[in-house]
Chain A
Amino acid sequence: MKKHILPAIKLTLILIVFFAVIYPFAVWAIAQAAPNGGKGEIVTFKGKTYYSNIGQAFTDDHYFWSRPSAANYNAAGSAGSNKGPSNPLYLEEVKGRIDTFLVHNPGITKAEIPADLITASASGLDPHVSLQAAQVQVKRIAKIRNIPEADLKTLVNEHTEKPLLGLFGPAKINVLKLNIALDELASK
């Protein structure tokens, strides 16, 4: 074993230079051509900058709500609830979310509430909701913002991101982009 020590130390040092310095810097150099220079994709609205991939908390009634989050949408960290499917406290929490949603959305029945609006995402930063989740909120927002429901439905449709190539993965809506468009529509 002794005769291996010196070569192993030398090899380790060389490989550190190769894999932990040269490799990442090569990726970094190429990533300068990526959206926003590899610093995370952004959207700007009214002079302010937001990360389009990082979800934001939307709890006000005049915005489309995001999903519940175990990290409160503070991307200093990230967290799922890690609640097991049979955990009684968790099931109480979900019941509470359903009740809250029904109170804020008169005229909506329980069977119309999609699962994503009452369950916390894996990262706590999920930027998306399902199509159903946006559609089920149209009635509330139309009333509060005084915008015709048909216009909002068009807005939701315009912001629906289709599956990749129309074939792969779920359709989804970026809540931040939808709410920015909603603010723009309202200020017209």
Chain B
Amino acid sequence: MNTEIIAIIVMFLGTIALAIPLGKYIAQVFAGNKTIFDPVFNPIERLFYKLTGIDPKVEMSWKQHMAAMLTINMIWFLLGMLVLMTQGVLPLNPDQNPSMTADLAFNTVISFVVNCNLQHYSGETGVSYLGQYWLMFLQFVSAGTGMAAAVTLFRAFRDKTAIDLGNFYEYFIKSCTRILLPLSFAVAIVLAFQGTPMTFEGKDTIVNLQGDTVQVSRGPAAAFVAIKHIGTNGGGFFGTNSAHPFENPTYLSNMVEMAAQMIVPFAMIFAFGYFIKRRKLSWMMFAVMTVGFLMLAIPNIKMEMEGNPALTSMGIDQSLGAMEGKEIRIGAATSGFWSIVTTVISTGSVNSMHDSSMPLSGMNELLAMMINSFYGGAGVGILNFFIFIILAVFISGLMVGRTPEFLGKKIEAREMKIAMIIALIHPFLILISAGLATAFPAQGASTLNNPGFHGFSEILYEYTSSSANNGSGFEGLGDNTPWWNISTGIVLILSRFLPIIGPVAIAGLLAKKKFIPEGEGTLQTDTATFGILVFTVIIIVAALSFFPALTLGPIAEYFSMR
């Protein structure tokens, strides 16, 4: 059997096997139970609370949670603008990279604050090491923000009737210290020993074997690349992200990075089940997500292994697969698999150039982000999926003629309105902004790297990636212009905070309601039947909203190549 396929299977199953105990650990952490890391983190956290004056025992309602979350995010944004716009004169800048322009800094800070990591700069020339480390800080705290929001949802369904949903700061700090930090540290060490640089020295100049003089960018990358994956951020230290031979030096590092980006989203699903003591429900969710994931990933592996039909017709040997924009040490099959891992989960790191993917592989990458709820990002994945559960519960309630209920709580008009708005905001943002960019060729078409249908795909991909808070790109796009920086920045803010506030609001409203014990007529939500229903709702919402746009881009390109 093909050694890449074996590796993919082992890596995927291995990650699930690790995610189950991790999920249990996460549930313990947030329930406040004893865990093995207590001796290390209890004193550290006590110090944090002492220095900040935060009392982690103060309970917050869902609104107070959101107020605390938005306030601290605003501070990160302001501080980030300051750092990136002055980094040129600040220390830790051996390569003398310049400060960012206001529009680029706006885009970059927003993009890292919201866990997206869309990058309209290249790491080698666009940021100093200080800037990189500011961004790395944001990679930790933005993932922690998403997880803290997810835990309010956990709390809402654990307690029978409640207004208080725990303390935002406690959940946030614990996510960062007890979950993201140990995992990142382990991954960083592996990467450093696999050959990822971890030095504060700047560019090196060498004369290569053939006699040409070139420079080699280095930097303290190993620590950065680890949290980039563990926190499902995806922003690269170097311009070409995890395709760069320093950022992803070996096949082993590739396997570790791939597992690293899947493990927290996987574990959060299992943690939900452990936390509310309904493990079957998390298996239903995990199964639905996995079916959707495999339906996108398997075709991509196959299409990338078959190679570009336009090159096949030139008569060359295509047994390696579609190698444009791919690395030999990683291979076509693994690149195809990663392209879906990174898009279903909101990582957006790449180990191949998605712009050069086969047309329908590109479509699957887009679809993964359009659906945006198969696994999803750290914490926020479960929030996105929750919206589809609410929709499915409502529809099945209508079908059997009963008031819809989920986990003993009635779903009523107010919750449904929020769920509908959140479900529709994603297609709305993508399609409207892609439509605008297409309507103004001076802003849109003039920045494209490819003509025709593929060019439209580049525009569509950029906004889809922004709205899904993904951060990968069809990177041919010349995206460091005020238009792209500002328009994607606005999409990023809306598509991050509304889909956090919406589900948390629903959870908060439901938590307040009276608990109705399960009866004979209660809709069972942890069954295969309900799983199929959720899946159908997801497919209908994504397919109906996005099919016309996909037809103009990747599908048209596919048929034009036949």
Which residues 104-151 of A sit at the B interface, judged by CB distance below 8 A? 110-116, 118-130, 132
Question: Closest CB-CB distance, A102 to chain B, in whole Å?
Answer: 10
* Among B51, B200, B561, contact of A10 (Cβ-Cβ < 8 Å): B51
A20 and B134 form a contact (CB under 8 A) = yes
Stretch at the interface among B319-327, B423-431, B529-537: B319-327
A 21-32 to B, binary, CB cutoff 8 A, 1 in contact else 0 = 001101110110
Determine the residue in chain A with the shortest Cβ distance to B125: A77
Residues of B close to A8: CB separation below 8 A:
68, 71-72, 75
Residues of B close to A34: CB separation below 8 A:
192-193, 195, 198
Which residues 164-188 of A sit at the B interface, judged by CB distance below 8 A? 164, 166-172, 176, 179-180, 183
B451 and A87 form a contact (CB under 8 A) = yes
Q: Is B206 an interface position by the 8 A CB rule?
A: yes
B245 and A126 form a contact (CB under 8 A) = yes
Known: A38-B199, A111-B317, A169-B3. A82 touches B353 (CB 8 A): yes
- Best-buried of B212, B218, B245, B318 by chain A (most CB within 10 Å): B245
A9 and B75 form a contact (CB under 8 A) = yes
Residues of A close to B334: CB separation below 8 A:
169
With the chains together, A72 CA to B431 CA distance in Å? 37
Q: Is B352 an interface position by the 8 A CB rule?
A: yes
Which residues 289-348 of B sit at the A interface, judged by CB distance below 8 A? 307-308, 310-311, 314-331, 334-335
Question: Closest CB-CB distance, B448 to chain A, in whole Å?
Answer: 10
Which residues 346-403 of B sit at the A interface, judged by CB distance below 8 A? 350-353, 355-359
B 191-203 to A, binary, CB cutoff 8 A, 1 in contact else 0 = 0110101111101
A12 and B222 form a contact (CB under 8 A) = no
Question: Closest CB-CB distance, B530 to chain A, in whole Å?
Answer: 37
- Best-buried of A30, A38, A50 by chain B (most CB within 10 Å): A38
With the chains together, A58 CA to B214 CA distance in Å? 13
With the chains together, A132 CA to B249 CA distance in Å? 22
Q: Is B474 an interface position by the 8 A CB rule?
A: yes
Residues of A close to B141: CB separation below 8 A:
12, 15, 19
Known: A75-B215, A170-B4. A122 touches B209 (CB 8 A): no
B222 and A27 form a contact (CB under 8 A) = yes
Residues of B close to A168: CB separation below 8 A:
3-4, 6-7, 10, 251-252, 255
Residues of A close to B357: CB separation below 8 A:
85
* Among B176, B331, B451, contact of A15 (Cβ-Cβ < 8 Å): B176
Residues of B close to A112: CB separation below 8 A:
317
* Among B201, B452, B474, contact of A86 (Cβ-Cβ < 8 Å): B452
Stretch at the interface among B181-189, B410-418, B512-520, B540-548: B181-189
Determine the residue in chain A with the shortest Cβ distance to B189: A30
Q: Is A5 an interface position by the 8 A CB rule?
A: yes
Residues of B close to A119: CB separation below 8 A:
311, 322-326
* Among B53, B223, B351, B557, contact of A122 (Cβ-Cβ < 8 Å): B351
B169 and A60 form a contact (CB under 8 A) = no
Q: Is B207 an interface position by the 8 A CB rule?
A: yes
Known: A75-B214, A122-B351. A27 touches B331 (CB 8 A): no
* Among A58, A110, A114, contact of B314 (Cβ-Cβ < 8 Å): A110
A20 and B137 form a contact (CB under 8 A) = yes
With the chains together, A138 CA to B240 CA distance in Å? 31
B327 and A122 form a contact (CB under 8 A) = yes
Residues of A close to B435: CB separation below 8 A:
none
Given contacts A77-B217, A98-B314, 5 further A-B contacts (CB under 8 A): A78-B240, A83-B325, A84-B557, A95-B314, A132-B317
A-B contact pairs, 11 of them (CB 8 A): A11-B72, A16-B137, A27-B220, A39-B218, A73-B212, A75-B217, A77-B217, A90-B450, A91-B310, A126-B327, A130-B320
Chain A positions near chain B (C-beta within 8 angstroms): 1, 4-12, 14-16, 18-20, 23-24, 26-28, 30-31, 34-35, 37-41, 45, 48-51, 53-60, 63, 67, 73-88, 90-91, 94-95, 98, 110-116, 118-130, 132, 163-164, 166-172, 176, 179-180, 183
What are the nearest 5 A-B pairs in CB distance? A82-B476, A169-B251, A122-B243, A84-B454, A31-B198
